[in-house]
Amino acid sequence: MRQASPAPRLPDIGALFLLVIVNEQKGGTPMPDGLRADTVGPVDVAAVAFPGNRFNGDVAPALRELQDSGTVRILDLTFVSKGADGSTAVVELEDAGLADAFDRVAVREFDLLSAEDLNSVAESLPAESSALVVVWENTWAARLTAALRGSGGQVALLERIPRDTVVAAIESLEEE
C-alpha cells in the first residue's frame, strides 16, 4: 500500500485554541462573538500545500458551501508561501486577489493562528510552494459533543483515516 507523504505539522494549535477558551472563562480577553466554550464543536486545522504555487482559488466555493450548509464554521484562514530563495511570507485575506475568491468563506476572522504557527508551516514547504492554512469548527458535531460531555463521556480514540487508505481498503474488498 502506498503511503502518503507527511503533511507539514503545525505547532500545538489545539493548545492555542484551548488557551483562548480558558482565558475568557477566567475573565481575560473575551472570545469573538459566537465562539463559546460550552457549545463549540470539535476544531480541526489543516495546512494544504500547493507545490509550484498552483493555487487557483477553486477551493473557495467548496469551503463556502460547507459553511453555508452549517457543516463547518471557518475560524481562521490564511495563506503562506515559500519562494525559490527559501524566503517565506504570510499572505492574509486582506490581499485583493485572495479576498475576491474567499469573500464569504471567513465571515468572522478569529485569528487563532499565530505568526509562529504560520511561519512554521511556510518553512516546512518546498521552495516555490504555497499553502492554505485553515481552522474550522465542525459545527455538525457540536450537539453530539455537548451530549457526550453532558453524559460524562470522554474521547478514548479519535483518528482520521487518510483517503488513500480508505480507497486501498475499498479496492481490496472489490478484488475479493
pLDDT in tens, 68-82: 898 998 888 888 999
pLDDT interval class at 143 (50, 70, 90): confident
Q: How many CB atoms neighbour CB 55 within 10 A?
A: 19
Task: Decide: pTM greater than 0.75.
Answer: no
- Supply φ then ψ for residue 122, to 5 degrees: -60, -40
* Alpha-carbon span 15 to 174, nearest angstrom: 42
Are 70 and 142 in contact by the 8 Å Cβ rule? The answer is no
Q: DSSP labels for the chain?
A: -PPPPPPP--S-HHHHHHHHHHHHHTTSSPPPTT--TTT---EEEEEEEEETT---STHHHHHHHHHHTTS-EEEEEEEEEE-TTS-EEEE-TTSHHHHHHTTTT-SS----S-HHHHHHHHHHSPTTEEEEEEEEE-GGGHHHHHHHHHTT---S---PPPHHHHHHHHHHHHH-
- Please state the rounded mean pLDDT for residues 147-160: 89
**What's the grid cell of residue 115?**
505568526
Tell me what the pLDDT averaged over the chain comes to: 77
* Alpha-carbon span 79 to 119, nearest angstrom: 11
pLDDT at position 127 is 94
- The percentage of residues in the chain with a pLDDT greater than 90, rounded to a whole number, is 32
- Please state the rounded mean pLDDT for residues 135-158: 89
pLDDT at position 96 is 67
pLDDT in tens, 20-42: 333 334 444 444 456 777 778 88
pLDDT at 3 exceeding the cut of 80: no
pLDDT at position 20 is 38
**Burial tier of 143 (Cβ tally within 10 Å: 0-12, 13-18, 19+):** exposed
pLDDT at 102 exceeding the cut of 80: no
pLDDT interval class at 158 (50, 70, 90): confident
**What's the grid cell of residue 167?**
480507497
